[in-house]
Amino acid sequence: MAGPLPLGDPAPADGRLPLDLSIDPEAAFSAYLHVPFCRVRCGYCDFNTYTASELRGARQDAYADTLIREIGLARDVLAERGPLRPMSTVFFGGGTPTLLPAGDLGRMLGAAIDAFGIADGAEVTVEANPDTVTPGVAEELAAAGVTRMSIGMQSAVPRVLAALDRTHRPENVRTAVDAARAAGLAVSVDLIYGAPGEVLDDWRASLTTAIDLDPDHISAYALIIEDGTKLARQIRRGEVPAPDDDLQADMYELADGALRDAGFDWYEVSNWARRPDGTGAPVDQRSRHNMAYWRGTDWWGFGPGAHSHVAGLRWWNVKHPAAYAQRLAAGESPAAATERPDAEAAQLERILLRSRMAEGLPLDDLAGDARTRVAGLIADGLVDPAAALRGTLVLTLRGRLLADAVVRALTD
């Protein structure tokens, strides 16, 4: 289970939005559907997920119906404030969404489409553990309207998977990718680098294996040690080594070069999308759902612990599936608290997120003091000078490795 929720203002029991909230009817709208179940807890994970022994009265087989109740509440709340906007993207995350029957995922997606509608060409993603994907599952998800599968590969090296407490069989990654492809789904694979004991050759083998799968998209995340996780306790006790920053930097540079050579372009610090090959109409394989987050558009997060954002208002649901189900069974909103970031906090977040994207941060968005520091960042090799001349701050490879330092320079 994840750590405590952030503090915030009390959320209304009926879930209504503040009357002074100005919602743009033309703004894009997305939905995130959280499935909080896992067979085992990975040692590095601090997401809001639960194994069977942690559910304490919540029923996995009743979960779809519970979440559908929140969809109905969201529809009623948003309908009070103007025309409902069709969903541009939908994302099933977790946890392990594919622990639920594909039919349950399809029912949740159908309820969301019935409530809000869905835009033409919308992206609908389901995260999946490789061991849970069969041709039948992939076909049923595609028939329900899913367009994309994000497969948690993490590594191709068994001892690295063991260090991360991942239990899937490495050969099932190929099985899952083939099943998704046969069902007509776009495919993304997720990797993690910097696990205890992982060396550069291990990471090179994982990259080679991932590229050979011929996915449309690859995410590669540096392992971060989160307080309260099993891995954090192991490091504190000296049982395993902490991640080595220099080694992780070498791994990132290796990934960027290998992926670029294989036809992928980076579009966010940890994400690469297949480059159109020029033989047909270009296909944008970037995760449009994640880009909605990074661009600060509106989304409603469904499920225990899920976060939402509409017109600058943020809120988050109670964490435990049992508490979540109890609230909705009583006809109440599952929201635990809300907040409205002030202008300074909103600007910090915008700089933090947009500077990590290849499309960059418009220099006009920076205040005078921050703009004067851009020249120094260019001199330090952190910011692309050509892009800056065009009015946009874009990180160089070195800048991506030191992205947090760039944000500090622009916001201190």
Neighbours of 166 (CB within 10 A): 24
Q: What pLDDT does 399 receive? A: 98
Is the pLDDT at 262 greater than 60, yes or no? yes
Is the pLDDT at 1 greater than 70, yes or no? no
Mean of the pLDDT values across residues 112-116? 98
Chain segment 338-367, per-residue pLDDT in tens: 999 999 999 999 999 999 999 999 999 998
Percent of the chain beyond pLDDT 70? Answer: 98
Chain segment 215-258, per-residue pLDDT in tens: 999 999 999 988 888 888 999 999 988 999 999 999 999 999 99
Q: What pLDDT does 19 receive? A: 94
Lookup: tokens for 347: 């600007």
Q: What pLDDT does 308 receive? A: 98
Residues in contact with 96: Cβ distance below 8 Å, sequence separation at least 6, in sequence order? 35, 37, 38, 39, 49, 127, 128, 129, 132
Q: Round to whole Å and give the CA distance between 318 and 333.
A: 10
The alpha helices in 80-134, defined as continuous H runs, are 102-116
Alpha carbon of residue 348 to chain centroid = 20
Q: What pLDDT does 4 receive? A: 65
Is the pLDDT at 3 greater than 70, yes or no? no
Output the DSSP codes for 274-290: EPP-SSSS----S-HHH
Mean of the pLDDT values across residues 177-204? 97
Strand partners, 29: 87, 298
Q: What pLDDT does 56 receive? A: 84
pLDDT band at 47 (very low <50, low <70, confident <90, very high): confident
Q: What pLDDT does 187 receive? A: 98
pLDDT band at 280 (very low <50, low <70, confident <90, very high): low
Q: Round to whole Å and give the CA distance between 164 and 155.
A: 9
Q: What pLDDT does 2 receive? A: 56
pLDDT band at 45 (very low <50, low <70, confident <90, very high): confident
The alpha helices in 245-390, defined as continuous H runs, are 245-261, 288-295, 321-329, 343-354, 368-379, 385-389
| Domains (range + CATH), the chain | 9-294 (3.20.20.70), 342-412 (no CATH)
Q: What pLDDT does 316 receive? A: 98
Chain segment 394-412, per-residue pLDDT in tens: 999 999 999 999 999 999 8
The mean predicted confidence, pLDDT, of the chain is: 94
Report the candidate in 94, 155, 161 with the shortest Cα–Cα distance to residue 128.
Answer: 94
Q: What is the DSSP letter of 306?
A: -
